[in-house]
Amino acid sequence: MIEPPDAELLSAYLRINELKNYAYCPRISFYTLCLGIDRETGLSRMGIEAEAETKVRMKRRKHALHTVVEGRRHFDVTVFSHTYRIVGRLDEVVETADGLYLIDYKDTDRDYGYWKLQMVAYRMCLDEAPAQAVLGCYIYSIPTQQYHEVRLTRRDVDKLSLALTELHAMVESELCPPPVQQIGKCRVCQYARFCNDVF
């Protein structure tokens, strides 16, 4: 459905997954992207396993979306945007005669502020690929097995542009951003011991 360009070019692009860290605290993105520190937690490992199990289960299902009866399903679709210099892997894309439906699986039913940011990034990638229109975007919550429709606006695109501008600038300058304002986030942060200026 989408032919990826060469891997070397994509390796220089930001991963859409990184937007999750950025939305929580830009400094985590600094640790992962500039210092190469990736503190995988037990929780995130469990999330990855839950998503893998869900994919196996979803592939067995006849229909992906309750609203889409006819359609060819694609799993783990690599998408990218040369405009935004991002690359990501979408859990599921349903291809119909009229266009595409995008589905991102989440191991939680709670949006911590990054669902839309990631979805708009996937959407921008697909919009850049010619021929197929995007007809709908959905989050599939693994714990509740529910689909949540995500409606994207111009404001969401602007928010993504700002986030990516900041992330690209941070990688180029290698300057550590200030700590997050909400101290509650720091109390449960797996990177807390690197932030001597917080506590």
Residues binding ligand SF4 (CB under 6 A) = 25, 27-28, 179-180, 185-186, 189, 191-192, 195, 198
**Smallest gap, in angstroms, from Cβ of residue 88 to ligand SF4?**
23
Query: Is 148 or 185 the residue whose CB approaches ligand SF4 more closely?
Result: 185
Instruction: Write down the least CB distance from residue 15 to ligand SF4, Å.
Output: 18
Q: How far is CA 20 from CA 2, 70, 135, in A?
A: 24, 32, 24
In the complex, minimum distance from the CB of residue 128 to ligand SF4, in angstroms, rounded to a whole number: 32
Nearer to ligand SF4, 48 or 183 (CB): 183
CB nearer to ligand SF4: give 63 or 187.
Answer: 187
CB 172 within 8 A of CB 12: no
Q: DSSP letter string over 5-28?
A: --HHHHHTSEETTHHHHHHH-HHH
Classify 89 as helix, strand or coil: strand
**One-letter amino acid identity for 137?**
C
Beta carbon nearer to ligand SF4, 135 or 176: 176
CA-to-CA separations, 194 to 35, 39, 168, in angstroms, rounded? 11, 11, 22
Comparison of 139 and 189: residue with beta carbon closer to ligand SF4 = 189
Q: How far is it, in rounded angstroms, from Cα 66 to Cα 19?
A: 28
The minimum distance between CB 104 and ligand SF4, in angstroms, equals 24
Q: Closest approach of Cβ 178 to ligand SF4, in Å?
A: 8
Taking CA atoms, 193 is separated from 20, 81, 199, in Å, by 20, 35, 9
